[in-house]
Structure 1
Amino acid sequence: MIRWTHLAKRIEGATRTSEKVNLLADALRNASEEDLAISCQLLARRGPLSPSEPLSWASIAKAVEEAAGAPAGSLAKLLDEAGDLGTAAAELIEAERPLAGAALAAVEQESQARSDVIAQATGVTPNLDAAPHLREIPALLAAIAAASGQHRHDLLVQTFYGCSPTATKYLVRLLTGDMRIGLRDGLLEAAIATAFAVDQEEVHWAMTLEGDPGSVACLARRGALSEAKFKPFHPIPAMLAAPVASATEIVERIGRSELEKSGGTMFVEDKYDGVRAQLHVAGGRAEIYARDLREVTVSFPEIADAALASGAEGVFDGEIIATEDGRPLPVAALQSRLDGSARTLGERERIPVAFVAFDLLARGSEPLMRNTWSDRRTALEATKLGEQSGGLLQIAMLQEARSGEEVEAAFIAARMRGCEGLVAKAQGAPYLPGQRGSSWLKLKRSLDTIDCVIVGVEPGVGRRRELLSECTIAVRDDLSGRLAPLGRVSMGLDDASLVQLSQWFELHTVAQLGTYRSVQPSVVVEVSFDAVRRAERSASGFSLKSARIVRVRNDLGPDQVATLSAIEQRYRLGHGAQEHYDA
């Protein structure tokens, strides 16, 4: 049986991606069928074992402190230094349990007694070894997810009580929804391909169809990846458009080849100022997923109802926008929908929404992602999605252009309609899940922006001195999976939003030093900036010039923020080979 915590530790400690891949491949190759499926699900960033709603850091910290016999607040002090809840929890367990001999025997006896009590009360018998066995993890997560209040707390305490520091570290990370061992989705696919000598592209395609890395690994072992079937209601990572600065650049990068292939015509779509969404409709069921792959149907029930009433079945990629008299509104109008504050029918009616589809990823049970964009667009229009929906369902406006001047005119027209800009799409391009490629180009003409996660806050100045409006932002280190701070920025949000966020930060503070608060890294924000600079004093090695938070990205999770390599790439694009540092 795979010692999953030992494997996770070795993968995290590996300094090269090839080493991470080979370590996991060796473990998968030697695993039983059951262990193979569970270990892939466990180590994947997202999968059947990822919690749909990760536990709050506060509830985990309380349970870890009780299991360690440590005073309340002990974990917060360690967290401020460690920067990772799992690492801090492991350090606390290790510091509070320097036991041996008779003292250790007494603790083990007490642990057994506690286990018996909890098992009798909950029906769940915890494993008293240094870590839960791999095959126990699915049932353990299910039991914790199903419990609430004191019942959940007792399960967490008992789980941590029998764990070694290493096991505690990875269990905490698992419960917060991110193992943080530097094992990106592509590396997991590479490990499966290496373990069973199959093509990685075939593994990637099977993962796209099935949505379950465990079942894909089992198919790969049997040499049966071709048997993978498309299954709706698992979100597909969104294909992203690359930014361009001008209409001329669109013509240079896409237009010339398109004009040669299509008799002088290229196509551009409106780019809407909303939140990216994926609509799955099949068998009398409709669900909506955000770009961070969370289900958000409850926030937009009228869209799901309209989709069911339309009779169309498939997987639609698009944008949810707020509207007023049929005209798109800025994305900020959707805030109350996404944060759950618009709970009543009346509140929802004050914020009318629409789903604008721009791609069809599956028609019924037939996947279309390998088809060309022009074929998918034709199939999308054939669904007649927008008919008889009262404007709730729409298909993105498409325009033809034959020159840079016509692209510029289409851009201006899109802005006049209340859109952000436009997106040019190569007619022969397939849909590439999770990739940002040159076959989709977006023209917005604004300051450059990146998505970051807030890791710390402190009060603002002037009239905002009572609000936690100064934030420390971070991106994710590609190799280690850890968060790398970029520095402090101000929030350019309205006061009502700042009040709501300040209250959230106060409730989710994990450590405090003076006025500075380290907070649970869950709030993702879009940050505008003029340039990327080198900065010796920054933990990431970079800082942003004229940075400002322009909006909260409720549609993204902390695992979808920009990466450190993307920041470095932006720096190189702006500075070439020259290296200089800002002290």
Structure 2
Amino acid sequence: MSSRQADMPVGLLADVFERIEAITSRTQMTALLVGLFKQTPPEIIDRVVYLIQGRLWPDWKGLPEIGVGEKLLVKAIALATGVTEASVEGLSKSLGDLGKAAEQLKSKSTGRSQGVTLLSYTQQRTELTVNRVYETLVRVAMAQGEGSKDIKIRLLAGLLKEASPKEAKFIVRFVEGRLRVGIGEATIMDALATIYGGGVAARPLIERAYNLRADLGEVAKILASKGLEAVKEVRPEVGTPIRPMLAERLSDPGEILEKVGGDAFIEYKYDGERAQIHKKGDKVWIFSRRLENITQQYPDVVELARNHLKADEAIVEGEIVAYDPETGELKPFQELMHRKRKHDIHSAIKEYPVKVFLFDLLYLNGHDYTVETLPVRRSKLEEVVDKVEEFTIAEYIRTNKVDELEKFFLKAISEGAEGVMVKALHGDSIYQAGTRGWLWIKFKRDYRSEMVDTVDLVVVGAFHGKGRRGGKYGALLMAAYNDEKDVFETVCKVGSGFKDEDLDKLPEILKPYMRDRRHPRVVANMEPDVWVEPALVAEIIGAELTLSPVHTCAYGKVKSDAGISIRFPRFIRWRPDKSPEDATTSNELVEMYQQQLKKITGETKPSEEA
């Protein structure tokens, strides 16, 4: 039994769940929750809220899930009701609901057991309580390792044996992760506001507390135990994630600047994983956009935060981006997925290194910065970050001019970013945790065209390598042939796709063609470490064709201040069978871009979109 004195029958919860199943009105649903919360002791309201949410604790705590699959659950039901596993499976299949199967079997087993002796008619069933159910389910979740399956089955069977048929139905559904009552966070907050806040007018205060402290059970307990004034005092807490601020989306740069009030920060929207980094002394936590604890995936980021966040306590937000340490090029989001899948995280760190680009400060040494304007937050962020290549501030500019926004957008795309974020700077530009609004606007226009075929490009320059490629060339500047002007126009800088032997041979391959200055037939804005006479042709593939203010291929043909470039280019092979004039032409790239252009306004990465 719990050390907590306060408790309540879990049957009250089961009754509410059953009644909610039969209604479709959210108002009625809220009224039923209000009735339930009236009967709930403040000491256990957190547990009641968790059970309503179908969880034992917030996901971000990183604690184990219940870890009981259908087969184990069938065994537990069979053990609790005295029937065979085949009988449980058969009934579940016919009803389409393992919870209902448990309910029916419990009804029958209760009837059978009551027919055994006269004494059983007068015996009272031990009433299951919220604490008993919650604590048993916690023990089920915490049972790990050898022999844990048997422990889980015995604990669940014991619980189901004590449960009424109705209680058994909802316990089984809870364990399955299919509670089916459809009670959302908003409905829970409305009910809490009605009971403890004097009405729905208190809802925004409760929601703000929840946005700053992403644990609705904890917020409910503060409200029920200490009142609305205590909820107003809720501040960010290091180690507890803040629900992230979200952005709207527009494709017209003029309209975007108008929406944010004219003056704005324009910053790169990186193609990475949004991360909220918490630091307290030497302890560091990292939470994803969905508030999952992803600290274990990024021990290198933990170390970077320890060494380069100059604060005792801080919560900062940024983007973790994969990159190629030998070329410095950013890599697409998909590269980070290897971090999730690799069991040996230390080898993953070497294979898939990352950079961190920070863009916000939410809390610092006891001060809540979510209530400060963006210029104040950014200024303080600049102060507390000891910038190094792998841990720095996101690239950004401040402007109120449409042409500068557009130019910076194209620069971002050409450097591997997804687009830009435009952020308001006016007096109301606070950090709106958990809210999507017009203070932040994504600009991700349809200036990208999916690349489905390879192209043949000409080497016109080379860049010295870094890291493992030190002392070698790490990347090449590639160009298309403009057959109308008889010049070579740059398209991309390629550093991926080369094998070690390719890199070893590069100095020898390039040596006959190296020059002190740009060849007169090369048109380039980008300056390589070494210029190369246009003679060597290579086959290149990329993720997509895009527009770039940096590259000169077909400059001005699609857009007045941009050329065509390749996002995430990769070397395939040399083409010694082709002369430079046989390379893909600038006009061919324009045609490919226009033919394959796909509207991406509606495309997002579901887990990582801001």
Relative to the length of structure 2, the TM-score reads 0.62
Closer, same or farther: CA 187–373 of 1 in aligned 2, 3 Å: farther
Query: For the residues of structure 2 that align with 1:107 and 1:366, how far apart are their CA atoms?
Result: 67
Match of 1:409 in 2: 407
Query: For the residues of structure 2 that align with 1:100 and 1:73, how far apart are their CA atoms?
Result: 13
Closer, same or farther: CA 45–158 of 1 in aligned 2, 3 Å: closer
- Per-residue CA distance 1:466-525 (angstroms, 9 max, x = gap): xxxxxxxxxxxxxxxxxxxxxxxxxxxxxxxxxxxxxxxxxxxxxxxxxxxxxxxxxxxx
Query: For the residues of structure 1 that align with 2:441 and 2:279, how far apart are their CA atoms?
Result: 28
Instruction: Tell me by how many angstroms 1:216 deviates.
Output: 2.8
Query: For the residues of structure 1 that align with 2:70 and 2:274, how far apart are their CA atoms?
Result: 30
**Partner amino acid, structure 2, of 1:25:** V
Match of 1:330 in 2: 332
Match of 1:304 among 299, 302, 305: 302
Query: For the residues of structure 1 that align with 2:150 and 2:374, how far apart are their CA atoms?
Result: 52
Instruction: Tell me by how many angstroms 1:274 deviates.
Output: 1.1
Closer, same or farther: CA 59–71 of 1 in aligned 2, 3 Å: closer
Match of 1:136 among 129, 132, 137: 132
Q: Secondary structure at the match of 2:385?
A: coil
Query: For the residues of structure 2 that align with 1:164 and 1:253, how far apart are their CA atoms?
Result: 57
Preserved CA contact (<8 Å) 2:213 2:242: no
**Partner amino acid, structure 2, of 1:266:** A
Instruction: Tell me by how many angstroms 1:281 deviates.
Output: 0.7
Closer, same or farther: CA 277–386 of 1 in aligned 2, 3 Å: same
Residue 452 of structure 2 is aligned to residue 440 of structure 1: no
Instruction: Tell me by how many angstroms 1:270 deviates.
Output: 0.6
Deviates most, 283-292 or 23-32: 23-32
Query: For the residues of structure 1 that align with 2:443 and 2:58, how far apart are their CA atoms?
Result: 38
Match of 2:247 among 241, 245, 264: 241
Closer, same or farther: CA 105–316 of 1 in aligned 2, 3 Å: same
Closer, same or farther: CA 30–105 of 1 in aligned 2, 3 Å: closer
Aligned residues: 427
Query: For the residues of structure 2 that align with 1:44 and 1:63, how far apart are their CA atoms?
Result: 25
Query: For the residues of structure 2 that align with 1:128 and 1:362, how far apart are their CA atoms?
Result: 51
Closer, same or farther: CA 227–405 of 1 in aligned 2, 3 Å: closer
Match of 1:66 among 70, 78, 92: 78
Q: Secondary structure at the match of 1:279?
A: strand
Match of 1:384 in 2: 385
Superposed, 1:154-173 pairs within 5 Å as 154-173=154-173
Q: Secondary structure at the match of 1:26?
A: helix
Deviates most, 400-409 or 9-18: 9-18
Instruction: Tell me by how many angstroms 1:409 deviates.
Output: 0.8
Instruction: Tell me by how many angstroms 1:49 deviates.
Output: 6.4
Residue 206 of structure 2 is aligned to residue 203 of structure 1: yes
Match of 1:320 in 2: 320
Preserved CA contact (<8 Å) 1:360 1:377: yes
Q: Which has the larger radius of gyration?
A: 2
Match of 1:393 in 2: 391
Residue 58 of structure 2 is aligned to residue 52 of structure 1: no
Q: Secondary structure at the match of 2:247?
A: strand
Query: For the residues of structure 2 that align with 1:275 and 1:76, how far apart are their CA atoms?
Result: 45
Query: For the residues of structure 2 that align with 1:301 and 1:101, how far apart are their CA atoms?
Result: 53
Preserved CA contact (<8 Å) 2:300 2:349: no
Preserved CA contact (<8 Å) 1:355 1:394: yes
Instruction: Tell me by how many angstroms 1:425 deviates.
Output: 0.9
Query: For the residues of structure 2 that align with 1:28 and 1:37, how far apart are their CA atoms?
Result: 11
Instruction: Tell me by how many angstroms 1:47 deviates.
Output: 7.1
Query: For the residues of structure 1 that align with 2:219 and 2:233, how far apart are their CA atoms?
Result: 10
Closer, same or farther: CA 43–386 of 1 in aligned 2, 3 Å: farther
Instruction: Tell me by how many angstroms 1:9 deviates.
Output: 2.9
Preserved CA contact (<8 Å) 2:103 2:166: no
Query: For the residues of structure 2 that align with 1:216 and 1:52, how far apart are their CA atoms?
Result: 19
Residue 369 of structure 2 is aligned to residue 368 of structure 1: yes
- Per-residue CA distance 1:189-226 (angstroms, 9 max, x = gap): 22111102342222223334444434433433443324
Superposed, 1:19-34 pairs within 5 Å as 19-34=28-43
Closer, same or farther: CA 47–190 of 1 in aligned 2, 3 Å: farther
Closer, same or farther: CA 440–305 of 1 in aligned 2, 3 Å: same
Closer, same or farther: CA 171–320 of 1 in aligned 2, 3 Å: farther
Relative to the length of structure 1, the TM-score reads 0.65
Percentage of pairs with the same residue: 24
Closer, same or farther: CA 175–65 of 1 in aligned 2, 3 Å: closer
Q: Secondary structure at the match of 2:108?
A: coil
Tell me how large the CA RMSD over aligned residues is: 3.7
Closer, same or farther: CA 409–18 of 1 in aligned 2, 3 Å: same
Preserved CA contact (<8 Å) 2:322 2:330: yes
Residue 259 of structure 2 is aligned to residue 253 of structure 1: yes
Match of 2:271 in 1: 273
Match of 1:219 in 2: 222
Query: For the residues of structure 1 that align with 2:282 and 2:110, how far apart are their CA atoms?
Result: 62
**Partner amino acid, structure 2, of 1:327:** E
Preserved CA contact (<8 Å) 2:211 2:434: no
Closer, same or farther: CA 342–167 of 1 in aligned 2, 3 Å: same
Instruction: Tell me by how many angstroms 1:552 deviates.
Output: 8.3
**Partner amino acid, structure 1, of 2:383:** A
Closer, same or farther: CA 285–103 of 1 in aligned 2, 3 Å: same
Instruction: Tell me by how many angstroms 1:424 deviates.
Output: 0.6
**Partner amino acid, structure 1, of 2:333:** V
Closer, same or farther: CA 49–423 of 1 in aligned 2, 3 Å: closer
- Per-residue CA distance 1:55-91 (angstroms, 9 max, x = gap): 2544554445534535459659957985xxxxx1212
Match of 2:98 among 89, 107, 114: 89
Instruction: Tell me by how many angstroms 1:296 deviates.
Output: 1.1
Closer, same or farther: CA 46–307 of 1 in aligned 2, 3 Å: farther
Query: For the residues of structure 2 that align with 1:279 and 1:367, how far apart are their CA atoms?
Result: 15
**Partner amino acid, structure 1, of 2:78:** E
Closer, same or farther: CA 276–107 of 1 in aligned 2, 3 Å: farther
Match of 1:152 in 2: 152
Match of 1:352 in 2: 353
Q: Secondary structure at the match of 1:327?
A: coil
**Partner amino acid, structure 2, of 1:146:** M
**Partner amino acid, structure 1, of 2:63:** S
